[in-house]
Amino acid sequence: MAQAHRTTIDRLEDQLKWYGRAAKRNQSAYKGLRYLEIIAAAFIPFLAGEPEWGQVVGGLGVAIVILAGVRSVSQVHENWLSYRRTVEQLNTEQHLWTVQAGPYYDVDDPNRLFAERLESIMGAEGEAWQDRGSEVGKKGPQEGSQGGR
């Protein structure tokens, strides 16, 4: 029983690290892409009044479309929020298990219940990730670029 418990804790710690890193990576990518879009868009009205900058203005417009498309297809915003939510759910579950509260109060085998509930949280995130991936092919870059589902 002690080995099973240690395996569950090891898995939890591993998954918390993975989801935490993945959330941070997706957050950084999302913010980086958005900042580049904003900067490019800010220069367009400034340069549009100058005829010699016409090609630059056009290039900035193209860059904005490309950045929005990459952001939409890569789903960095949705992944960031979902991975962060998963970290918080796993932390909450660990806390409830540690203090034997909520679903862990007065049950025969709280360690088994803990393992099952962790797997349920991670399994739900895996399914959500697959759903997000399948949604990308169903909508164009502009439709998906606004975030929500």
Q: So what's the pLDDT on residue 37?
A: 97
pLDDT tier for residue 2 given thresholds of 50, 70 and 90: confident
Residue 149 inside a domain? The answer is no
Residue 22 lies in a domain: yes
Half-sphere exposure of 14 (CA within 13 A, CB side): 8
**Does residue 117 sit within a domain?**
yes
Distance CA 86, CA 84 (A): 5
Q: Is the pLDDT of residue 96 over 70?
A: yes
DSSP class per residue in 33-81: HHHHHHHHHHHHHHHHT-GGGHHHHHHHHHHHHHHHHHHHHHTHHHHHH
In a domain, 61, yes or no: yes
Question: Into how many domains does the chain fold?
Answer: 1
The DSSP letter of residue 101 is -
142 or 53: which carries more pLDDT confidence? 53
